[in-house]
Amino acid sequence: MKFTDGYWLSREGYTSLCPAQAYDAREKDGTLEVYAPVKAVRDRGDTLNVAQLTFEVSSPAPEVVRVRMSHYQGGLQPWPQFNLASEPGHHTDVRIDEHEASLSTGNLQVKFHRGGPWLLEFLGNGRVLTQSANKAAAYVQGPEGRVWSKEELGLDVGELVYGLGERFSAFVKNGQIVDIWNKDGGTASEQTYKNIPFYLTNRGYGVFVNHPGLVSFEVASEKVSRVQFCVEGEELEYFVIYGPSPKEILKKYTALTGRAPLPPAWSFGLWLTTSFTTSYDEATVTSFIDAMAEHRLPLSVFHFDCFWMREFHWTDFLWDSRTFPDPRGVLARLKAKGVRICLWINPYIAQRLLLFEQGRAKGYLLKKPNGEVWQTDLWQAGMAIVDFTNPEARAWYAAQLEVLLAQGVDAFKTDFGERIPTDVVWHDKSDPGRMHNHYSYLYNQTVFDLLQAHHGTGEAVVFARAATVGGQKFPVHWGGDCESTFPSMAESLRGGLSLGLSGFGFWSHDIGGFEGLPPEALFHRWLAFGLLSSHSRLHGSSSYRVPWAYGETAVEVARTFTLLKLALMPYLYAQAVDTTKTGLPLMRAALLEYPEDLTCQTLDRQYFLGCQLLVAPVFRADGQVDVYLPEGRWTHLLSGEIVTGPGWRHETHGPFSLPLYSRPNSILAMAPGVTRPDTDWSSSLELRVFAMEEGQTSQCDLVEFQGRPLGEVRVTRRGANYKVNSPAAVFPYSLVVGNKSFRIETPEQTV
Maximum distance among all Cα pairs of the chain, rounded to whole angstroms: 88
Averaged over 458-464, what is the pLDDT?
97
pLDDT digits (tens, 9 = 90+) for 211-258: 999 999 999 999 999 999 999 999 999 999 999 999 999 999 999 999
What is the rounded radius of gyration, in angstroms, for the C-alpha atoms of the chain? 27
Residue 666's nearest CA partner among 687, 689, 645 is 689
Residue 422's nearest CA partner among 350, 359, 366 is 366
Architecture field, domain 4-76+90-257: Sandwich (2.60)
How much is the pLDDT for 704?
72
Residue 464's nearest CA partner among 409, 498, 433, 505 is 505
The CA-based angle 457-459-460, given to 5 degrees, is 90
pLDDT digits (tens, 9 = 90+) for 598-656: 999 999 999 999 999 999 999 999 999 999 999 999 999 999 999 999 999 999 999 99
CA–CA gap between residue 206 and residue 494 (Å, rounded): 19
Give me the amino acid identity at 169: S
Confidence of residue 711 (pLDDT cuts 50, 70, 90): confident
The percent of residues in the chain predicted with pLDDT above 70, rounded, is 99
**Any catalytic annotation for residue 415?**
yes
Confidence of residue 408 (pLDDT cuts 50, 70, 90): very high
Mean pLDDT lowest among 338-342, 547-551, 571-575, 699-703 = 699-703
At residue 502, does pLDDT exceed 90?
Answer: yes
Backbone angles phi, psi at 135, to 5 degrees: 65, 25
Averaged over 410-430, what is the pLDDT?
98
Q: Residues 305, 418, 491, 678: which is the catalytic one?
A: 418
Confidence of residue 680 (pLDDT cuts 50, 70, 90): confident
How much is the pLDDT for 706?
65
Mean pLDDT lowest among 326-330, 504-508, 560-564, 683-687 = 683-687
DSSP bridge pairs for 58: 66
Residues in the chain: 751
How much is the pLDDT for 468?
98
Confidence of residue 682 (pLDDT cuts 50, 70, 90): confident
Confidence of residue 707 (pLDDT cuts 50, 70, 90): low
Backbone angles phi, psi at 64, to 5 degrees: -135, 130
CA–CA gap between residue 378 and residue 404 (Å, rounded): 26
Residue 409's nearest CA partner among 480, 307, 508, 339 is 339
At residue 418, does pLDDT exceed 90?
Answer: yes
Averaged over 39-56, what is the pLDDT?
95
Q: End-to-end alpha-carbon separation of the chain, Å?
A: 64
At residue 710, does pLDDT exceed 80?
Answer: no
Instruction: State the DSSP code for 144.
Output: G
Helix (H, G, I), strand (E, B) or coil at 339: coil
What residues does each domain of the chain span?
4-76+90-257, 265-345+391-422+430-582, 680-750
DSSP for 424-436 reads SB-TT---HHHHH
At residue 115, does pLDDT exceed 90?
Answer: no
Q: Is 257 exposed, middle or buried (0-12, 13-18, 19+ CB in 10 A)?
A: buried
**Do residues 380 and 309 make contact, with C-beta atoms less than 8 angstroms apart?**
no
The H or E element that residue 148 is part of is: strand 147-154
At residue 681, does pLDDT exceed 90?
Answer: no
pLDDT digits (tens, 9 = 90+) for 148-202: 999 999 999 999 999 999 999 999 999 999 999 999 999 999 999 999 999 999 9
pLDDT digits (tens, 9 = 90+) for 271-308: 999 999 999 999 999 999 999 999 999 999 999 999 99
**Do residues 599 and 628 make contact, with C-beta atoms less than 8 angstroms apart?**
yes
How much is the pLDDT for 647?
98
Q: Residues 481, 483, 678, 686: which is the catalytic one?
A: 481
Would you tell me how many other CB atoms lie within 10 Å of the CB of residue 489? Answer: 27
Percent of the chain that is helix, strand, coil (3-state, to 5): 25, 30, 45
The percent of residues in the chain predicted with pLDDT above 90, rounded, is 95
Confidence of residue 731 (pLDDT cuts 50, 70, 90): confident
Taking the whole predicted model, whether its pTM rises above 0.95 is answered as: yes
How much is the pLDDT for 709?
59
- Pairing of the two strands 477-478 and 507-508: parallel
How much is the pLDDT for 732?
87
Q: Residues 121, 166, 415, 491: which is the catalytic one?
A: 415
Contacts of 300 (CB under 8 A, 6+ apart): 266, 267, 268, 269, 270, 271, 339, 340, 676, 677, 678
Confidence of residue 708 (pLDDT cuts 50, 70, 90): low
How much is the pLDDT for 553?
98
**Do residues 259 and 505 make contact, with C-beta atoms less than 8 angstroms apart?**
yes
Q: Specify the CATH class of 265-345+391-422+430-582 in words.
A: alpha beta
pLDDT digits (tens, 9 = 90+) for 539-553: 999 999 999 999 999
Residue 587's nearest CA partner among 566, 570, 612 is 612
Residue 725's nearest CA partner among 715, 717, 735 is 715
Would you tell me how many other CB atoms lie within 10 Å of the CB of residue 515? Answer: 20
